[in-house]
Every structure is written in C-alpha cells, then in structure tokens.
Structure 1
Amino acid sequence: EIIGAIQPEAGLFALEDGAEALATLICVHDGDLAGLFEVATDRSARNKGHGRNLILSALKWARLRGAREAWLQVEANNVPALALYHSLGFEEVYRYHYRRPPGHE
C-alpha cells in the first residue's frame, strides 16, 4: 500500500538471505531528486556493509533515472546511521522537531 500511494516513481530495495530481509529501504525518484525512506538493517546484520550497499544501489537506480541530488531524514540520536550517511557524503542541512500537546504521548 505504501509504494502504491507514492506518486513519483519509487523502488523498494531489499537485501535478503533466503527468506530473511537483512536490509530494506524505499527510494523515491522525482525529477532531479532522490529521497531515501524507511532505511533499516536487521540488528543481526548490522556493521557488515549491507545498509551501505543497499543505499548505493538505490542511489544508482535513481541516478540512472536522472536524479542528481539525494536526501533523507534521520533521528538526531541515531549515531550509527549518521556516521553511515556522512561517510556516503550526506550533510546535515537542517533540523526540526515534533510537538504534541501534554498528555498525548
């Protein structure tokens, strides 16, 4: 349902070991932009380069369709992900935060 609801062209990328998904992400291509969403690596498969390889594959897919820049969102306290994205050339552009009324947690 998520992929079908996305209007720009989107690709679902997965690295699997048999029936087990080791890493997954969604890449949306829209003109000269590529957005990476839902980047995830199974805890048992972390620190083995799977996330990096999947991101590079998704970026190549988008680049072949005309994307020249890419963006993503990551939580500020996700230190391993921040290190990975930085090593791939991503830079922090801005931060934002969500607010909720008291008692709506």
Structure 2
Amino acid sequence: MLARPLAGVICNCFLWLSRILRRLLRKGIEKALGNGIKKPSPSESKNKVIVRKSLVAKTDIKKGDIFTEKNIGIKRPGNGISPMRWEEVIGKVAKKDFEEDEILEI
C-alpha cells in the first residue's frame, strides 16, 4: 500500500501526463485535418502527367472517318484530349489521318 504523500505525487503525475497527452493529441488532430484547402502534394503534382490518360486511335483512322467507340481508346500519357471529353469526340469527323496508338486531335 502506498503512503498518502506518495499517492498524491502519483496522482499529480497522472494529471500532468494526461494534460500533456491531451495537448499532443489536439495538435496532431489539427495537423491531420490541415487547413481545409485541398491541393495536390508535390509528389502528386510531379506524377500528374504520367498518370493522366488521353484519347488515342485504337486502329488506323483515315481523314474523313467518324470517331466511334470501336476506333478510339484511352491510354497514357495524358498530354492529349482528356477521356472526360469522350462524348464530345464520338461522332466527329477526323480532319487528318491517325495511326494506331496516336494521340487524337480534333
């Protein structure tokens, strides 16, 4: 059994420790939540072009052919037309010849 003076010291230590832990947790939570502004990290920005995809010719497309689901596809890199514009491209007429796997231009 602990002597009363020693028990008081232990209680004070636990109180002090709980205050410190509470502060550390609060700071950690604030840091984890961030500032509320969403933006890519430096490593994400670096890989953005590598990860993006573009519309490409699945097969050879001749000038005057119509872009269809059968003759266009999606591949990397992302320096061409975004796949988000798929519906806009379908049905358009090719203004030049495209070789297989060539990035599309409209």
Q: Under a length normalisation based on structure 2, what TM-score does the superposition of the two structures give?
A: 0.18
Q: Which is bigger in relative contact order (C-alpha 8 A, separation at least 6)?
A: 2
Q: More strand by proportion, 1 or 2?
A: 1
Q: Under a length normalisation based on structure 1, what TM-score does the superposition of the two structures give?
A: 0.18
